[in-house]
Structure 1
Amino acid sequence: MSTRRKPPVDGQPTPLTSTMPASSIRVSPASRSPLLPTRLEFLLISIYPATLLLGSIFSTLSPASRSAPYSAASQSHPPEFAPSYFAHKRNVFNVYFVKVGWFWTTLAFTVFWSFNPGFGRSWFSKRRIQAAGRYAGVTLWWVFVTQWFFGPPLIDRGFRFTGGQCELIRDPEAREDMSDTREYITAAACKGVGGSWKGGHDISGHVFLLILGSALLWSEFLPALTRAEGLRDGRRITLDDGKVASVAVEKDKGLEEKKTEEPVTQGVKLALGVATLMWWMLLMTAAYFHTWFEKFTGLLVAFGALYTVYYLPRGVPSLRAVVGMPGV
């Protein structure tokens, strides 16, 4: 016997966003802003500042770290005085993982994006396209900050804006042979000619990359875990008419019950492995590299992109229609 739905008090049906199935949305009192993370998300996000704090406390209390000299120019301990294998810039994890961190982020995301049945069976499903759009948005921010922003990347522009420059330019004889267009205005160009990047505030690129990459992966595969493991998912969104609703992970009705663990075994494990290793290297970066303020600004710059792509759309229906939300 079917249950008859009671008509709304105002006689009008509750409008739903065009990008979400009705079964995943439930209108509820606005006890929490849609722009804020859920408790589970807050716990995951808090891991990052806690990791930076833990690493910094360790470097302060560790006798080996305290006794080892620190070079502000290289933002690390000199190799001959490095207190740990992970304090060497040439350690295998830094060279083959962190230095090419966005490759590993892209690989993990691509595997998850390809095999996760929650995106639908079609390669051109709306969920799959929106997930690719979220990845593209975060990747664009990574490019702007670390690679190129209509010239030097934002990290290098910020360094020069705060008074930094290539040490080679301070040499009058070396400067005489250079035009304004040939000034070494990026850290890579400066180091390439044997100069030192000194004088300004240098946002920690390692902190930025490791937080941005791992949080992207967490944000994408967490809904798959909530469906498979029964974790609580209480995200809120603003509907087109301004009402606040609670949205749950939408289950794919075409999947058999025995396949509910499929998202975990196909794609999530690799993404989880990459995110975990990124967390470990973030801890090592916090313990052995950069100053407190450099690490803090790296955290803020990464969080800015993540908030724009994964949290802001919950309160802005027009933006949510473009990038969607993971799991719905």
Structure 2
Amino acid sequence: MEHLERCAWFLRGTLVRAAVRRYLPWVLAAGMLAGSILKELSPLPESYLSNKRNVLNMYFVKMAWAWTVFLLLPFIALTNYHLTGKTSLVLRRLSTLLVGTAIWYVCTALFSNIEHFTGSCYQSPALEGIREECQSKQQCHREGGFWYGFDISGHSFLLSFCALMIVEEMAVLQEVKMDRSHCLHIATTILVVALGFLTLIWMWMFLCTAIYFHNLTQKVFGTSFGLLGWYGTYKYWYLKSFSPGLPPQTSSLTLKRDTYKK
């Protein structure tokens, strides 16, 4: 447990900083551009990470949103209840996961439709011999063809959005003061470590996507959707009163309690 606490202390001191929330979007954008330029000008040799069936891609990235919700749900519930003590406020904050799910669903459906309407079925990966009889990607693949359309990078979108969302929610740790005797200490410590490592996985796989997959335009669109999803919620809508709101801060809670007393 001591090693776990040390790891949680390090991740907490690193990811919770305001500078991380401020500069992470720029780091993601720069990483996407740098990786894409490297892919175009000096492609790296094939490796385990360039194989779509690598472990991280198969068991983490393909279920990125499920992993993010699975860990954020108890983390938001525990930390927000510890600070506010109000179930209604906890439920309100948990609705951020519903908003994120809606953004994930709409964007992935949009990307799929764009690829469908801009694509055609070819007989070979060299884009030779259009097969007119295939009108959809699924039908094309069933008949042994290769569908080619404008495939916006879903990985660039989802991994950037998930990483930014986790970092924003972990900001609540600046206010959470929990001694070792507290019943929630162990659970919170485990969740901090898990979310920290999950964020590192998302950022690493985001960079791998930039280096090995898609073209520059597809990754620019994908990353832009991820950044817009984050900015539109945490930097705009969640600042409004009719929203799930931002992670609670002790200073604001104290101010509200003082106002009620008056």
TM-score range, shorter chain: 0.7 to 0.9
Q: In 2 relative to 1, CA 216–194 (structure 1 residues): closer, same or farther, beyond 3 Å?
A: farther
Report whether the alignment pairs 1:84 with 2:32: no
Residue 39 of structure 2 corresponds to 59
Residue 147 of structure 2 corresponds to 197
| Partner residue of 1:171 out of 109, 131, 142 | 131
Can you list the C-alpha shifts for 1:274-325, whole angstroms capped at 9, x where unaligned?
111011111111111111111110011112221222111255x3xx333111
Report whether the alignment pairs 1:131 with 2:96: no
Query: For 1:76-225, what aligned pairs fall within 5 Å after superposition?
Result: 83-117=46-80, 120=83, 124-126=87-89, 128-146=90-108, 153-161=109-117, 163-167=118-122, 170-172=130-132, 174=133, 183-184=135-136, 187-188=137-138, 190-198=140-148, 200-224=149-173
Shift in Å at residue 116 of structure 1? 2.1
| Partner residue of 1:272 out of 196, 219, 225 | 196
> TM-score when scaled to structure 1?
0.60
Shift in Å at residue 84 of structure 1? 1.1
Q: In 2 relative to 1, CA 189–50 (structure 1 residues): closer, same or farther, beyond 3 Å?
A: farther
Deviates most, 296-305 or 102-111: 102-111
| Alignment RMSD (CA, Å) | 3.1
**Partners of 1:266 and 1:299 in 2: how far apart?**
30
**Partners of 2:156 and 2:59 in 1: how far apart?**
16
- Opposite residue 50 of structure 1, the aligned amino acid is A
- Opposite residue 322 of structure 1, the aligned amino acid is S
Q: Which structure's residues are more often helix, by fraction?
A: 2
**Partners of 1:190 and 1:108 in 2: how far apart?**
37
Query: For 1:303-318, what aligned pairs fall within 5 Å after superposition?
Result: 303-313=227-237, 317=240
Shift in Å at residue 41 of structure 1? 2.4
Name which one, 1 or 2, has greater alpha-carbon Rg: 1
**Partners of 2:44 and 2:197 in 1: how far apart?**
30
Contact 1:204 1:294 in 2 (8 A): yes
Deviates most, 267-276 or 111-120: 111-120
- Opposite residue 132 of structure 1, the aligned amino acid is L
Can you list the C-alpha shifts for 1:54-86, whole angstroms capped at 9, x where unaligned?
323443565644xxxxxxxxxxxxxxxxx2110
Q: In 2 relative to 1, CA 84–138 (structure 1 residues): closer, same or farther, beyond 3 Å?
A: same
Structure 2 residue runs of 5 or longer lacking an equivalent are 1-17, 124-128, 250-262
- Opposite residue 248 of structure 2, the aligned amino acid is G
Residue 285 of structure 1 corresponds to 209
Contact 2:121 2:131 in 1 (8 A): no
Residue 326 of structure 1 corresponds to 247
Q: In 2 relative to 1, CA 196–123 (structure 1 residues): closer, same or farther, beyond 3 Å?
A: farther
> TM-score when scaled to structure 2?
0.73
Percent identical: 28
Contact 2:154 2:222 in 1 (8 A): yes
Can you list the C-alpha shifts for 1:201-238, whole angstroms capped at 9, x where unaligned?
211011111111221111111232x336xxxxxxxxxx
**Partners of 1:60 and 1:222 in 2: how far apart?**
37
Contact 1:102 1:209 in 2 (8 A): yes
**Partners of 2:160 and 2:245 in 1: how far apart?**
22
Structure 1 residue runs of 5 or longer lacking an equivalent are 1-37, 66-82, 147-152, 176-182, 229-251
- Opposite residue 42 of structure 1, the aligned amino acid is R
Contact 1:119 1:125 in 2 (8 A): no
**Partners of 2:142 and 2:170 in 1: how far apart?**
39
3-state DSSP of counterpart to 1:324: coil
